[in-house]
Homo-oligomer: A and B are copies of this chain.
Amino acid sequence: MPAGQYGHVLRPSRYAERVNDDRAAIHAVLDEALVCHVGLVVAGRPHVIPTLHVRVRDSLYIHGSTAARLLVSARPAPLPLCVTVSLLDGLVLARSAFHHSLNYRSVVIHGDARLVDTVEEKTQVLAALVDRVGVGRSQQCRPPTSRELAATAVLALSLDDESTDVALKRRTGPPSDDEADLTLDYWTGVVPVRLTAGTPQPACDIPLPGGLAPSLT
């Protein structure tokens, strides 16, 4: 699992310069993963916070508990963030220890986040966040009150801003052993992995509506 084994690495580049296929691949990763990891610098030290995110058009939005406390301190200046979204796709078992690896897709975004401060944008983003756990879920629950909206901090990272860098990386496919190892008698191949939903655990006695978490089905 050392340096250099990745089957396909796309170099960081401006989001705006990317061709459509590439943007679609970036969106697919952002839209499938439920959790991102937000990196920020506090008093010179790195902090990494896991939190839910949502992409709306060409912006990535985050909000959240611990995140909020650290992140809100950014106001009014934009806050330098690194948001990493990664999906584990498989365990890659090579004939050599050295070429063991993971299949994955990841998007790393470097940019300056702004605090969302209009009720309209905040309302739209919070509905989109709720819809991440199920298609149309924001219409199947009580909407936020203005007090709840005021209590919630939302940050936006524009993907197509001049100062934003977006890097897509992935490894796919079978192990890539050295020629000399190909005759060794060890099992080799890929074990695919994915996040799956279990049986819902209701806390009520009405039936579960359909359309939950599309990336889990």
Contact = CB atoms under 8 A, between A and B. Distances in A.
Contacts of A84: 37, 48-50
A189 B200 CA distance: 7
Contact of A48 (B48, B140, B200): B48
A156 interface: no
Given A82-B45, A130-B97, A134-B93, A202 B188 contact: yes
A82 B185 CA distance: 40
B86 A191 contact: no
Interface residues of A, number: 98
A121 interface: no
A216 B190 contact: no
Interface string A184-196: 1111111111111
A213 to B, nearest CB: 6
A212 B191 contact: yes
A42 B169 CA distance: 20
Nearest to A49: B84
B195 A48 contact: no
A201 B189 contact: yes
Interface string A24-50: 000000000011011111001111111
Given A50-B86, A192-B200, A193-B197, 6 more contacts: A3-B153, A48-B108, A93-B137, A174-B201, A189-B204, A191-B212
26 contacts: A3-B151, A35-B86, A35-B88, A41-B41, A41-B44, A44-B80, A46-B80, A47-B108, A48-B82, A48-B108, A91-B197, A97-B126, A97-B127, A97-B142, A97-B144, A100-B133, A141-B186, A189-B200, A189-B202, A189-B203, A191-B197, A191-B213, A191-B216, A192-B197, A192-B198, A193-B196
3 residue pairs, one from A and one from B, having the closest CB atoms = A39-B46, A39-B48, A192-B198
Interface of A: 1-6, 34-35, 37-41, 44-50, 52, 63-66, 68-69, 80-84, 86, 88, 90-91, 93-98, 100, 102, 104, 106, 108, 110, 126-127, 129-130, 133-134, 137-138, 140-145, 148, 151-153, 169, 174-175, 181, 184-204, 206-209, 212-213, 216
